[in-house]
Amino acid sequence: MDYKISDKLAALKPSAIREIFKSLTDPSIISFAAGNPSPLSFPVEDLAALSADIFANQSTTALQYSVTEGYPPFREAIKKRLGEKFGIGRDFDETIVTTGGNQAVELCCKVMCNEGDVVVCENPSFIGALNAFRSNGAKTVGVPLKEDGIDPEGLEAVLSTTPNVKLLYLIPTFQNPAGVTSTLENRKKVYEIAKKHGVLIFEDNPYGELRFAGEEVPTYKSFDEDGLVMYCSSFSKILSAGMRIGYACGPAPVIQKMVVAKQVEDVHTNIFFQMLCYRYMTERDLDGHIAEIRKIYAKKAGLMLSELDAHMPKCVKYTRPEGGLFLWCTLPDGMSSAEFVKKALERKVAVVPGTAFNCDTEAPSDSFRLNYSTPSDEDIVKGIGILSDLAREMFC
Amino acid sequence: MDYKISDKLAALKPSAIREIFKSLTDPSIISFAAGNPSPLSFPVEDLAALSADIFANQSTTALQYSVTEGYPPFREAIKKRLGEKFGIGRDFDETIVTTGGNQAVELCCKVMCNEGDVVVCENPSFIGALNAFRSNGAKTVGVPLKEDGIDPEGLEAVLSTTPNVKLLYLIPTFQNPAGVTSTLENRKKVYEIAKKHGVLIFEDNPYGELRFAGEEVPTYKSFDEDGLVMYCSSFSKILSAGMRIGYACGPAPVIQKMVVAKQVEDVHTNIFFQMLCYRYMTERDLDGHIAEIRKIYAKKAGLMLSELDAHMPKCVKYTRPEGGLFLWCTLPDGMSSAEFVKKALERKVAVVPGTAFNCDTEAPSDSFRLNYSTPSDEDIVKGIGILSDLAREMFC
């Protein structure tokens, strides 16, 4: 039988990260390739206790079909927290619970884009979002990400000359993969450009609560008085990634269509874990727990940076993150990272090549991404040593 | 701000079922409108015990990111059960765990259909699937569902004359909404027609294990030696609907693309509940549990039928289900059910009008759907009394 795969999926390759993951079945490999939260960040005992109580007292609700928008008390709690803590949400906004944050990205694209429409992204950007756009037949067009955020002049040029741009996808805080947090000045400029062109901003903020140094920068959504911003975050990095609970807050007409689209994807998100999340939020100390996670990541990032500072040849540059999960390394003189990544894997250290994050899938990259949240301290020391030796041999 | 919604979502209305559900916040309404399993079918104590053990001994795996295809031991257990119990699965097949069965429907459409391509369906058919196709920009074309299954002559005519048919969507067993189980003879004919035209059959079988009378009919997938059938089922009706765990088994090239598409929708299905399902399957008596559920539904269906037999005027016809969750009622002389459904709701009994299940959304319907799994015995007696009185007043 000849399977005629749709154009959008025929063109979509499994992500490079995924391919690297397959090699990770070898336990002797040190992986800096994941984007996993530290298992130390899971409040297992609290979740177990609340879970037992849900089975004992709320099992019918927790095991039955539920509403697509999300468990109503949970949606309310999310809305309240977003408003009180981050100044997010106006009267024209609604909230939807999604099966992980990425579902919100995918749903929003499906709601806004016909096949062939364009999503403008920071270049580089998160592979999971880029592929979500591509899986809906949308085209991704990249605008360079600079030190203070997406390049406003580049953005203006693209929006002025590209037909059918329907979304501007941004990860303004602790950007994945590049680690950049855009400045407030940059955000204000970009907001005005998007407003001028009538393009919805999708603000993806999965790492925003993981700041362990520096000053908070207000989210786009917090100053959105025009219904221009769809905001998205998740509990993956602050409670559990495996439960797949995310949410979006944005203009009602778009959220309502996302609800319709979600209904036919998965009807609703696992209701037991929505209730569990809700009870954790309201009966335990979520903010205290997040403060503990920040300490873990401050320590992990600090260790990786001190090892890099001590051993990595100076010709290799790297970011100094103030939060999030990643470091972004750049090789000297625009060298391609492909060979370096391949040789590192031969020496049993896995990192993700920058090509995985390119909007233009054929473009080369001089960069690679390092994750510090998942590996043990011992593996951080050993793995950075191996990468430093390799860089010295190859480049410096 | 003017939100330019994509053509596919702009045209997609929330399902009529959903609209009816909104009226169900009134607790005095008797609902025959749901498709919910009975809460009596949830093995709460077993799930609670296994859940506690997962928190105690497997929490890191259960709360961390996992692989898109599904928890490997769970996929193996599903594959084994499908093979041993139902003769499903060949060497060319693979299995994927999905966030409820409907996600498999939606993913398969995304993988097979460009915008404007056609999915041929039984008419009437399941609204959640029809809308999943529409949400991907595919067109739905209906072929009449007769007493022994989809009409083969009608199917041949459509496949001979319609360009770009990419999927044939069927619910061959205890069809939703019409309750029809197609005969083996019909299935063999339909299989050959699909094979001749090179069209993939999507066999949706969420109710197949809920047979409480009559003889089993082999699934399409059990005689699929050509890689022509994508088979889908779920744990929603046999363990818990709220956990959202489904699966599909079909030709590897299609499943592999579904995995790529799923990765950017929700990364993976809630891993804790995949592990919980797996442990229930392997450490408890799933088949014994299903036998108990069948007894519950036999009793519920029997009660609804005996009340209908005793009170409903003879001019209203209804199916006599041998399994599943639904009865399908047809009004006399091709009368539209819209007015009847509206008046029933005024008398505080909710049923779903047949129009909700039409492939052609503008077509009228002389039918409505009754669910017997969710209401209490008392409500079944009372509600059927009200519907019978109304039918007598209106028609007979």
Compare all CA atoms of chain A with the CA of B138 and give the residue at the minimum distance.
A6
- Whether residue A2 and residue B198 make contact (CB cut-off 8 A), yes or no, is yes
Residue B223 has pLDDT above 90, yes or no: yes
Quick one: pLDDT at residue B23?
67
pLDDT confidence tier of residue A363, bands split at 50, 70 and 90? confident
Residue B25 has pLDDT above 80, yes or no: no
Quick one: pLDDT at residue A395?
84
Alpha-carbon distance B110 to B171, whole Å? Answer: 19
Q: Which residues of A touch B375 (CB under 8 A)?
A: none
Alpha-carbon distance B332 to B329, whole Å? Answer: 10
Quick one: pLDDT at residue B16?
66
CA distance B303 to chain A (A): 23
Domain ranges of chain A: 7-42+288-394, 58-283
Residue, of B166 and B359, whose pLDDT is higher: B166
pLDDT in tens, A287-332: 999 999 999 999 999 999 999 999 999 999 999 999 999 999 999 9
Residues whose CB is less than 8 angstroms from the CB of residue B314 and which lie 6 or more positions away in sequence, other chains included: B396
- Tell me the two tokens of residue A52: 């037992």
- Tell me the two tokens of residue A333: 């003189």
- Tell me the two tokens of residue A97: 């619970």
- Tell me the two tokens of residue B371: 């669910």
Quick one: pLDDT at residue A396?
78
CA distance A43 to chain B (A): 10
Q: Which residues of A touch B264 (CB under 8 A)?
A: 102, 105-106, 128-129, 131-132, 135
Give the nearest partner residue to A198 out of B1, B5, B59, using CB atoms.
B1
User: Which residue has 């336990």 as its token pair?
Assistant: A27
Give the nearest partner residue to B267 out of A44, A244, A266, using CB atoms.
A244
Q: Which residues of B touch A37 (CB under 8 A)?
A: 64
- Whether residue A265 and residue B7 make contact (CB cut-off 8 A), yes or no, is no
Give me the percent of chain A exceeding a pLDDT of 70.
97
User: Which residue has 């400029």 as its token pair?
Assistant: A189
- Whether residue A39 and residue B64 make contact (CB cut-off 8 A), yes or no, is yes
**Would strands B149-150 and B139-146 be described as parallel, antiparallel, or unpaired?**
antiparallel
Least Cα distance to A150 among A199, A211, A94 occurs for: A199
Report the Cα A278 to chain-centroid distance in Å. 22
Compare all CA atoms of chain A with the CA of B57 and give the residue at the minimum distance.
A44
pLDDT confidence tier of residue B26, bands split at 50, 70 and 90? confident
- Whether residue A99 and residue B100 make contact (CB cut-off 8 A), yes or no, is no
Alpha-carbon distance B130 to B140, whole Å? Answer: 7
Quick one: pLDDT at residue A15?
66
pLDDT in tens, B224-261: 999 999 999 999 999 999 999 999 999 999 999 999 99
Quick one: pLDDT at residue B15?
66
Top-level class of domain B45-283: alpha beta
Least Cα distance to A140 among A172, A175, A174, A105 occurs for: A105
Alpha-carbon distance A102 to B11, whole Å? Answer: 24
Select from B3, B127, B224 the residue whose CB has the most chain A CBs within 10 Å, as the one to mutate to test that interface. B3
Quick one: pLDDT at residue A78?
98
- Whether residue A264 and residue B132 make contact (CB cut-off 8 A), yes or no, is yes
Rounded to an integer, the average pLDDT of B3-24 is: 80
Task: Give the type of residue at A317.
Answer: K
- Whether residue B264 and residue A131 make contact (CB cut-off 8 A), yes or no, is yes
pLDDT confidence tier of residue B328, bands split at 50, 70 and 90? very high
Quick one: pLDDT at residue A18?
65
Least Cα distance to B273 among B244, B251, B299, B252 occurs for: B244
Select from A267, A275, A325 the residue whose CB has the most chain B CBs within 10 Å, as the one to mutate to test that interface. A267
- Tell me the two tokens of residue A295: 């300490």
Task: Give the type of residue at A9.
Answer: L
Contact indicator for A114, B6 with CB cutoff of 8 Å? yes
Compare all CA atoms of chain A with the CA of B137 and give the residue at the minimum distance.
A114
Contact indicator for A102, B265 with CB cutoff of 8 Å? yes
Return the sign of the alpha-carbon dihedral for residues B48, B54, B59, B65.
Answer: negative
Residue B34 has pLDDT above 90, yes or no: no
Quick one: pLDDT at residue A16?
66
Residue A8 has pLDDT above 90, yes or no: yes
For B247-311, give the DSSP string: EEEEEHHHHHHHHHHHHHHHSSS-HHHHHHHHHHHHHS-HHHHHHHHHHHHHHHHHHHHHHHHHH
Compare all CA atoms of chain A with the CA of B227 and give the residue at the minimum distance.
A1
Reading phi first (left if > 0) and then psi (alpha if -120 to 50, else beta), residue A198 is in left
Q: What is the largest CA-CA distance in chain A?
A: 64
Quick one: pLDDT at residue B273?
98
Contact indicator for A330, A373 with CB cutoff of 8 Å? no
Alpha-carbon distance A331 to A367, whole Å? Answer: 6
Residue A214 has pLDDT above 70, yes or no: yes
Alpha-carbon distance B354 to B348, whole Å? Answer: 19
Contact indicator for B242, A271 with CB cutoff of 8 Å? yes
pLDDT in tens, B359-390: 887 788 999 999 999 999 999 999 999 999 99
Quick one: pLDDT at residue A336?
87
pLDDT confidence tier of residue B22, bands split at 50, 70 and 90? low
- Tell me the two tokens of residue B53: 């053990």
Rounded to an integer, the average pLDDT of A162-180 is: 96
pLDDT in tens, B66-125: 999 999 999 999 999 999 999 999 999 999 999 999 999 999 999 999 999 999 999 999
CATH number belonging to domain A58-283: 3.40.640.10
Rounded to an integer, the average pLDDT of A112-124 is: 97
Q: Which residues of B touch A105 (CB under 8 A)?
A: 264
The Cβ of residue A201 has, within 10 Å, a number of other Cβ atoms equal to 24
Rounded to the nearest integer, the mean pLDDT of chain B is 95
CATH label, A7-42+288-394, candidates 3.90.1150.10, 3.40.50.2300, 3.30.565.10, 3.40.50.1860: 3.90.1150.10
Quick one: pLDDT at residue B369?
95
Alpha-carbon distance A322 to A209, whole Å? Answer: 11
Q: Which residues of B touch A114 (CB under 8 A)?
A: 6-8, 115, 137
Compare all CA atoms of chain B with the CA of A109 and give the residue at the minimum distance.
B6
Q: Which residues of B touch A271 (CB under 8 A)?
A: 242-243
Alpha-carbon distance A292 to A300, whole Å? Answer: 13
Give the nearest partner residue to A114 out of B6, B200, B228, using CB atoms.
B6
Residue A243 has pLDDT above 80, yes or no: yes
Q: How many residues does chain B have?
A: 396
Inter-chain Cβ pairs, chain A and chain B, closer than 8 A: 267
Residue A83 has pLDDT above 80, yes or no: yes
CA distance B293 to chain A (A): 15
* Interface confidence: ipTM more than 0.90: yes
- Tell me the two tokens of residue B97: 């765990």
